[in-house]
Amino acid sequence: MTHWGGFEALSDGQRLTDVRPLVDDPDPSPLIHNVASAQHAPERIDQPYVRAGWYRDGPGAPGRGSQEFVPVSWDTAIDLLAGELKRVYTDHGAASVYGGSYGWASAGRFHHSQSQLHRFLNCLGGFTYGVTNYSYGTSEVLLPHIVADSDEVMRGATSWQNIAEHTELLVAFGGLPGKNAAVTSGGIRRHSIGPSIADAHRRGTRFVSVSPLRDDTPPEAQARWLPIRPGSDAALMLAIAYVLIDEDLLDREFLATHTRGFEEFEAYVLGRGEGIAKDPAWAQDITEVPAADISGLARDMARHRTMLTVSWSIQRNQHGEQPVWLAIVLAAMLGQIGMPGGGFGHGYSSSGYIGRQRPAVQLPAVPQGHNPVSQFIPVARISDMLLNPGASYRFNGRTHTYPHIKLVYWCGGNPFHHHQDLARLRAAFQCPDTVVVHDPFWTATARHADIVLPATMSVERNDFAAGKNEHIVTAMPRLTEPAGRARNDFDIFADLSRTLGVEDEFTAGREETDWLRHLYRELTERVAAHDAEWPVPDFDEFWRTGRLELPQTAGDQVLFGRFAADPESNPLPTASGRIEVFSPSIADSGAIPGHPVWIQPDEWPGNPSYPLTLLANQPRSRLHSQLDGGAHSQADKVAGREALRMNPRDASARGLSAGDLVLVSSPRGRCLAGLRISDDVSPGVTQLSTGAWYNPDPDDPAFCRNGNVNVLTADRPTSPLTQSCAGGHVMVEVARAHL
């Protein structure tokens, strides 16, 4: 199982000789074909390494990211790392260690790198940790103020079956990108987004895709495309709200009984106070969507059972709170929240689990123990933390202080993929005394470390997996021997914990097989508690057959359905118990206004030096930056670089042709890319996916030879409220490259 799907494989014991999708997957992802080709790629780390300067001069030695590495034995690596951990914890305390893992290393309930790292560090006394995420961190902070916890909103979303049966109009801000729906954290066994959309369309659901990219919605939807200027969705939504108010197409009874603060929002939309009515003519100049189309869409929404959805990409921008909040407000204005097939969703097609019925039992996880350290950062503020120890920052209405980090420990993650302004991140990575990385591959993060330990891939270890809203748990027996001298993260931490005197606390007296049986027993006990008659095989039978089916929840949209039916008896978990159109807690934070508004981003069309808006979206040929060296990912390159897409009109104006090697420039950096020309991209817009491995010029860290878009993007937060990633858009210029 991988995050992008399950597969069966033939193996000669050392490598996979054939990879095939599971027979019960109706629409398997081709990303599975990256696995076998990447396993023994030249980028694979074959044994432990230590950076030459650190090995010679000790912690804090300069030159991180630009020096050669010295190969060492496992015994030497464990001794060096254990000694450094003991020094840092003794001299500087637990808060000086940043446990920076991110959770996408590989599917699997036991070999989950982040859990393993955090459990180990908690055995030593704790660590500074990260909160929120790069995917939907803005919404993770915002939604509890407005409606409910983000996990409840997304895991409890209206099912695609419900949409097919009841939704007449589905309006997708940011589209419904099928490539993103092919992925679910923890694994996805059945890819169903294409068939689900096709079923809904066949039953009469009409789709409208509001996106700068025509192909942001699968062809099965036969969607009407409304091309929009990137970053202007909030203005479009405000104009829709204006039409609903002006033509009395809103449900004032629902607003009176189920929301708080609509009066303040209505006054803003109508222009009372500042004197600017947010009507379709106003929005047309901002969004490039004709006023007549805006008015027509508003009327269409009011006349039909309508589902509004906002992709995660929309909130991954400066002021990304606004369109998410506005979609909820529009759904409330229509009065359809809680109705079958109506209301709002967040992230349909941003991940494969949204719109699928959730299992009735919670999956087990490796217990991480207790972390006594209270200091944390939003994950997207890592450069700020490393560069500015002791500085204060605002987050979710409170003031916090950045700790002074001496040691960064990264296990199964690659911040040089996720983060923005990579030249700044590279400077930030010079600040700690020591950087430690576990990884199967020489990613940019590994190349900016001091101690690099080779980790196994999932095909080289035993585990079992099930992603969010998955109903089948999949056994994952080891398919090959580890490449080189790679070891499981658990075994590395077990050796370190033994050297540091905390082995019993970390391992709990269990080895890999013992942990798998222990976690499986937890799962079967939960199933039995839910339904004593549910068939559950013992562990040996599960391992032989390869699967365990879980019971599903009954019902759909339980939280919002109950709330809509009786808001007094079933209030939402907000300050008022209602949908917060105006939020006093947000207003009191001073970070953003107390109701949704239009705020123009700092980077906006009008700068002649950077006239094109570049979309930095998720790739179609890999998950994030994983296995970029795999055959499927490499086949998607152009001129050996990441592919940049551009409208024919913009290419012609620059004298560019398909297949050209181009130089993409922003106020922060430059990268090479290979050009594709497509009518699916709006004029004035370019698109360059994230995830190409950062390969900087030795003398210029702001220049990437492979096409990593994050040398171009700005390391600024969405807002002081959410402090999340705002790397979705950047203003650029594109020209032919001359090497």
Please list the active-site residues: 102, 104
**What is the amino acid identity at position 366?**
V
SS3 state of residue 467:
coil
DSSP 82: H
Q: Which of 355, 354, 353, 344 is nearest to 309 (CA)?
A: 344
* Tokens matching residue 60: 């804090």
Q: 541 exposed, middle or buried (CB, 10 Å; 0-12, 13-18, 19+)?
A: exposed
**What are the φ/ψ torsions at residue 609 (nearest 5 degrees)?**
-75, -25
**Angle made by CA atoms 510, 512, 514, in degrees to the nearest 5:** 50
**What are the φ/ψ torsions at residue 140 (nearest 5 degrees)?**
-60, -35
Rounded to an integer, what distance in angstroms lies between the CA atom of residue 84 and that of residue 100? 17
* Tokens matching residue 416: 């040089």
Beta-carbon contacts of residue 216 (< 8 Å; ≥ 6 apart): 172, 174, 175, 176, 177, 209, 311
Rounded to an integer, what distance in angstroms lies between the CA atom of residue 166 and that of residue 307? 10
**What is the amino acid identity at position 677?**
I
CA 522 vs. chain centroid, Å, equals: 28
Could you tell me the end-to-end alpha-carbon distance of the chain, in angstroms, rounded to an integer? 42
CA distances from 725 to 54, 607, 612, 716 (A): 32, 23, 21, 7
Cα torsion for 529, 533, 539, 543, to the nearest 10°?
-130
CA 104 vs. chain centroid, Å, equals: 9
Do the beta carbons of residue 163 and residue 205 sit within 8 Å? Answer: yes
Rounded to an integer, what distance in angstroms lies between the CA atom of residue 727 and that of residue 379? 13
Rounded to an integer, what distance in angstroms lies between the CA atom of residue 38 and that of residue 279? 53
3-state secondary structure 233-276: HHHHHHHHHHHHHHCCCCCHHHHHHHEECHHHHHHHHHCCCCCC
Task: Count CB-CB contacts under 10 A for residue 21.
Answer: 18
Helices 280-287 and 233-246, packing angle to 10 deg = 170
Do the beta carbons of residue 592 and residue 325 sit within 8 Å? Answer: no
Tell me the β-bridge partners of 210.
173, 226
Rounded to an integer, what distance in angstroms lies between the CA atom of residue 614 and that of residue 250? 36
**What are the φ/ψ torsions at residue 196 (nearest 5 degrees)?**
-65, -45
**What are the φ/ψ torsions at residue 190 (nearest 5 degrees)?**
-125, 115
SS3 state of residue 20:
strand
Q: Which helix (H) or strand (E) holds 343?
A: strand 343-346
Q: Which of 142, 263, 146 is nearest to 572 (CA)?
A: 146
Do the beta carbons of residue 456 and residue 491 sit within 8 Å? Answer: no
Residue with tokens 């019902």: 555
CA torsion sign for 415, 417, 422, 426 is positive
Task: Count CB-CB contacts under 10 A for residue 657.
Answer: 11
CA 149 vs. chain centroid, Å, equals: 17
Q: Which of 138, 289, 307, 185 is nearest to 728 (CA)?
A: 138
Do the beta carbons of residue 304 and residue 169 sit within 8 Å? Answer: yes
Tell me how long the chain is: 739
